[in-house]
Amino acid sequence: MHLSATTRSRRVLLAAAVAAVMVATPLTAAGSAAAAPATDRQQQYAAAAAEYGVPESVLLGVSYLQSRWDTNAGTPSTSAGYGPMHLTDAEHVLALPGGTHHDEGTEDPRGDDSRPSLAEAHQPTEPAPAEAALRTLDAAAGLTGASEEALRTDVTANIRGGAALLAAYQREIGAPVGADTDPAAWYGAVARYSGADSADAAAAFANEVYATIATGDTRLTDDGQRVTLAASAVEPVRSWLDRLGLRKPARPDGLECPSDISCEWIPAPYQNYGTTLGAYGNHDLADRPAQQKIEYIVIHDTEGYFGPSVNLVKDPKRVGWHYTLRSVDGHIAQHIKTKNVGWHAGNWYVNSKSIGLEHEGFAGHGTWYTEAMYRTSAKLVRHLARQYNIPLDRNHIIGHDNVPGTVAANVRGMHWDPGPYWNWSHYFDLLKAPFRSTGTHRTGLVTIDPDFATNQPQFTGCNRQPPGVPNPPPATAPCPLRGSSALPLHNAPSHDAPLVNDIALRPDGTPNTMYVSDHGARVSTGQTYALAEVQGDWTAIWYLGQKAWFHNPASARTAKWSVGLVATPKAGKTTIPVYGRAYPEQAAYPEGVPYQTISPLQYTLSAGERYAVGNLLPGEYYRATTFDGSAPGDRTVIRGDNKYVQIQFGHRIMYVNLADVNLLPSPLGAPR
């Protein structure tokens, strides 16, 4: 997402503190780091179910849809939820220190040089949520007699708290309670547990829980506990939902969401508010894909709670994106028709060819995203990908952190959400497009794919306070160790070797760091790179014009062998330029339309280097500068003869001119 660097003073009040964390003591079965080892997790669920009269399958199903039974190192979720049962405590989390990834970014979310910058265009409109869904932990404390601290840090207490809430919700609607009651009769209580404020959202959550009960699952949790939910065919009694008295929002025709998820229309205003250039908001009208193919779906996080974030997109003086997803239940609000262009990714070329999804969350604070949100997001993305023929791969389903700066001056300020704690592997499993090996060590490409739970890089600075807050913790303060999609890159095959340098982020040539936002020496799950060299347990890839090494032992591979096309400079070219946007040449612009400079970034691609090809693209510029489309060339796509190759050049995708490169099968010239 895209809040400006000048909004720092209000960060302590905003939801980013949710992620900022950190509870010093990780969740343990006994409630403290010094306590005895955790007892069997399966038995903890069974005991809580028996104590509070909840069918064990219901308790396990609800917990799975919140946390997949994980403890997440005792950190709160993106909606202030703790533990396997996701007991929410927003008031507590808001008191914790922390900034957001927007504190360091100067990105103009529109990313169009033809109009004034919108880097200062939007700040949160309310500091903290008051929804009951974000403060269930105190209710659990009252029901169980456990302290709020225990419910946050003790797995046993947390599971008991969730069971007690379910039983209380069941009693409130007059439904039967008892561990031996029919799970089908618990539909209303399960729906209530979602925290949803509308009947369709509550039902969508409950339907996912019962679908999980029907299929069953077994997995090893992030703290090494085996939990199993046996498959059980249950036809829930959905009429219990009516007892909750939830609002029933209209689902208007034209809402671009699949029918089996909860979705509502909360429009972003297309409105003129001044006489200066670009004084309208907060998106541009277009006619995609008839005018221009949609190539990308961009995954963002909001750096704020759902409510305040939605309020931002309702303001014409701010900026806009297509969808916002809520963490507690996975509910979706659509704001902009997908045919229109949102202002969200900080790069006008990407904006004009993408759909932007904002997920309630925080990029760099060790927080976690709920299973409910992952699932509805994946359903939405599959729906959109089918509609617009977008491949389900990491060349097209990208994070905001994969979007390049438009010109050299903008690279350093680009945002880096959804951050290293977004579980790309699980997300693509839900998309039904899992990462698979398609080659061997001789086929020349590698796709990054570490085991999320056990891959725990030691990042720093997760609880950094924004500038101006007294006594902020140092950027070197360690983040809680927890699962991550990211792998650090070294300049030699050794853990002791310095990280590689991203010259745009560190122009002095010094190594990048493990600071959570310092993504210039980092690769992420699903990204594919050209193989440069292999030495023992270490693999080198071509990355930002250099060899970059990551640990890839045969006993626990962190990448898969792949095959595809690579781009390498044509013979006789010592170096070629790399671009952040794929714009047409000057001759393509009609009279009266200012030329948008083809400006290279500070990187170069040298002879002998190879980069994985992600796409072949036309040189295009969508012209949109006025509210009514009256300026010359407005609401048209300008195309030239230039053709571009999208490559995985660093952590971000970038572009090279097709005329500068040869495209080769990756096995040709691969290291042996």
Q: Which of 547, 564, 595, 599 is nearest to 578 (CA)?
A: 599
Cβ contacts of 259 within 8 Å, gap of 6 or more: none
In three-state form (DSSP H/G/I as H, E/B as E, the rest C), the secondary structure along 410-446 is: HCCCCCCCCCCCCCHHHHHHHCCCCCCCCCCCCCCEE
Task: Measure the CA–CA gap between 367 and 354, rounded to whole angstroms.
Answer: 27
Residue type, 310: V
Half-sphere exposure of residue 411, counting CA atoms within 13 Å on the CB side? 27
Tens digits of per-residue pLDDT, 313-330? 999 988 899 999 999 999
Please say which residue of 211, 244, 277 terminates a domain. Answer: 244
- The predicted model gives 166-183 an average pLDDT of 97
323 falls within a domain: no
Last residue of a domain, one of 244, 260, 285: 244
Domain range for 516 = 441-450+485-672
Question: What are the tokens at 473?
Answer: 């913790």
Report whether 300 contacts 322 (CB < 8 A): no
Domain for residue 477, yes or no?
no
Question: What is the number of residues in the chain?
Answer: 672
pTM across the whole model: 0.92
- Burial of 255-291, coded b for 16+ CB within 10 Å and e otherwise, reads ebbeeebbbbbeebbbeeeeeeebbbbbbbbbebbee
Q: Answer whether residue 47 shows pLDDT above 50.
A: yes
Confidence of residue 107 (pLDDT cuts 50, 70, 90): confident
Taking only the tens place, the pLDDT of each residue in 248-303 is 988 888 999 999 999 999 999 999 998 887 789 899 999 999 999 999 999 999 98
Assigned token pair, 14? 């905003």
> Is 260 a domain residue?
no
Q: Within 13 Å and on the Cβ side, how many CA atoms surround 394?
A: 30
Q: Let me know if residue 315 belongs to a domain.
A: no
Q: pLDDT tens for residues 497-534?
A: 999 999 999 999 999 999 999 999 999 999 999 999 99
pLDDT at 466 over 90: no
Q: Mean pLDDT score of the chain, rounded to an integer?
A: 90
Is 324 part of any domain?
A: no
Phi, psi of 600 (to 5 degrees): -70, 155
Instruction: Tell whether 318 is covered by a domain.
Output: no
What is the C-alpha to C-alpha distance for residues 219 and 660, in angstroms, rounded to an integer? 48
Q: What is the pLDDT of residues 358-406, one digit of tens each?
A: 999 888 766 899 999 999 999 999 999 999 999 999 999 999 999 999 9
Q: Are 107 and 2 in contact (CB under 8 A)?
A: yes
SS3 459: coil
- Determine, yes or no, domain membership for 335: no
Dist. CA 49–CA 156, nearest whole Å: 12
Extended strands (E) in 186-295: 217-220, 226-229, 263-265, 271-272, 280-281, 283-284
Q: What is the helix (H) or strand (E) element at residue 391, kind and residue range?
A: none
**Pick from 162, 172, 216: which is nearest to 193 by CA?**
162
The verdict on residue 493 lying in a domain is yes
The strand pairing partners of 167, in sequence order, are none
- The pLDDT, as a whole number, for residue 476 is 80
Query: Where a domain ends, among 221, 244, 267?
Result: 244
**What are 224-240's pLDDT values in tens digits?**
999 999 999 999 999 99
Per the structure, the count of domains in the chain is: 2
